[in-house]
Amino acid sequence: MTGTTQDQQSWQDLAARDLMSLGGRLALLTRGEGSHVWDAEGTRYLDFLGGIAVNALGHAHPVFAETVARQAATLSHVSNYFATPQQLELAARLKELAGTGERGRVFLANSGTEANETAIKLARLHARKQGWAEGLIVSLEGAFHGRSTGALALTPKAAYQDPFRPLLPGVTHIAPTLEALEELFAGGERISALVVEPIQGEAGVLPLPEGYLRRARELTTAHGALLILDEVQTGMGRTGRWFAFQAEGIVPDAITLAKGIAAGFPLGALVTFGDASDLFYPGTHNSTFGGNPLASAVANAVIQEIQDRDLLANVAERGAQLREAVEGMPLVAGTRGAGLLIGIALTQPVAAEVRAAAHARGLIVNAPTDDAIRIAPAYTIGDDEVAEFTSTFAAALDEVASRHAAPTTEGIPA
């Protein structure tokens, strides 16, 4: 494709002809470098969505590229009948970063959805170990845990669920409030697991109420339930810590990971703590591609790069810088989130317009809800990227605000 209007139309025609119609595509991207990507017409975009919190090191990072090339030339896939040094190294790294202690265990998968499916099976095995014929798995309203049939049951959004009913039984949902949490465990139900995101990304980057995870840990322990944290989006440094739960001073029974774990290479994981590590046994689960040496090698290299460059500190610093920069801009009601997972709350339900205005100016952001913008840039951003984002986002907000300004009555006779 040469970048003409005709070529631009032709890729859209090809997408309509050959790809399943599952959502619109904004551009035909052809390359990336650092925090920027380019489309087929040569337009440059500042990527502040990062593949939806995936590209921790940005695009075409030398460590990523070199690791892929080196490992692909050595050993890429051997199936789960064998172990590899890369897989063993990654499992040990994840245990250390999560603080599982010796009893921790790791299951390596291909995605966050697959990690959450594994967590559902963990909860079922826990119920059987308790001697229960069944036990409720509980998630929160506003949650997003994936779109496969089991994970979808944990994702209480009618537009996602309704075409696929009946869903997995034995799943219920509660409001993300301390009151609803207390009521849940006071109700006498047998609960096998509570599954929560420390920050609900698809709900507009909504943190849980203060003290929620600590109280959830107390109640799940008292009632024999697992506390499973979906850290697919918040994990691997996105919030300025390796995992969001570490800011709460608790120890969960399991966490699920993906997205930033391999900075763009497909990989997911379930990490267990304590007694939960004993629930799976041979034959209960596995994954053909999970933990292959290529994905594992990339994840090890990504973790090492984050550590060597102290990128967690940069995540925290740049996150605070960005939140301060947008405060007071037109249409901005406030910010929320942690590190470089930031929700920008809007005063009006115009997030789709803001996203489109930003895109037209060469800035990629996301509108997960009508009144919130989500940004999740690379951990490597610096002053230049922050300045470019600030000026471009402000211009997009100005444009949208001008369209929604209240009509003036100045000069009109009473």
Q: What is the tens place of the pLDDT at every residue in 144-161?
A: 999 999 999 999 999 999
230 flagged as catalytic:
yes
**pLDDT range class, residue 1, cuts 50, 70, 90:** very low
Tokens describing residue 339: 């590190």
φ and ψ at residue 202, rounded to 5 degrees: -75, -15
**pLDDT range class, residue 114, cuts 50, 70, 90:** very high
Asked if residue 384 has pLDDT above 80, the reply is: yes
Share of the chain above pLDDT 90, in %: 91
Which of 48, 107, 259, 280 does the annotation list as catalytic? Answer: 259
**CA–CA dist 94, 269 (Å, integer):** 9
For residue 265, give the 3-state DSSP assignment. coil
For residue 402, give the 3-state DSSP assignment. helix
Averaged pLDDT of the chain: 95
**CA–CA dist 163, 124 (Å, integer):** 25
Which of 39, 47, 230, 253 does the annotation list as catalytic? Answer: 230
**pLDDT range class, residue 409, cuts 50, 70, 90:** very low
Asked if residue 8 has pLDDT above 80, the reply is: no
Asked if residue 15 has pLDDT above 80, the reply is: yes
**CA–CA dist 13, 5 (Å, integer):** 12
Distance in Å from the first CA to the final CA of the chain: 60
Residue 12: the pLDDT is 86
259 flagged as catalytic:
yes
**CA–CA dist 340, 314 (Å, integer):** 9
pTM tops 0.75: yes
144 flagged as catalytic:
yes
Which of 107, 144, 245, 393 does the annotation list as catalytic? Answer: 144
For range 405-413, the mean pLDDT: 52
Residue 10: the pLDDT is 86
pLDDT digits (tens, 9 = 90+) for 271-310: 999 999 999 999 999 999 999 999 999 999 999 999 999 9
**CA–CA dist 127, 225 (Å, integer):** 8
pLDDT digits (tens, 9 = 90+) for 228-248: 999 999 999 999 999 999 999
Asked if residue 359 has pLDDT above 90, the reply is: yes
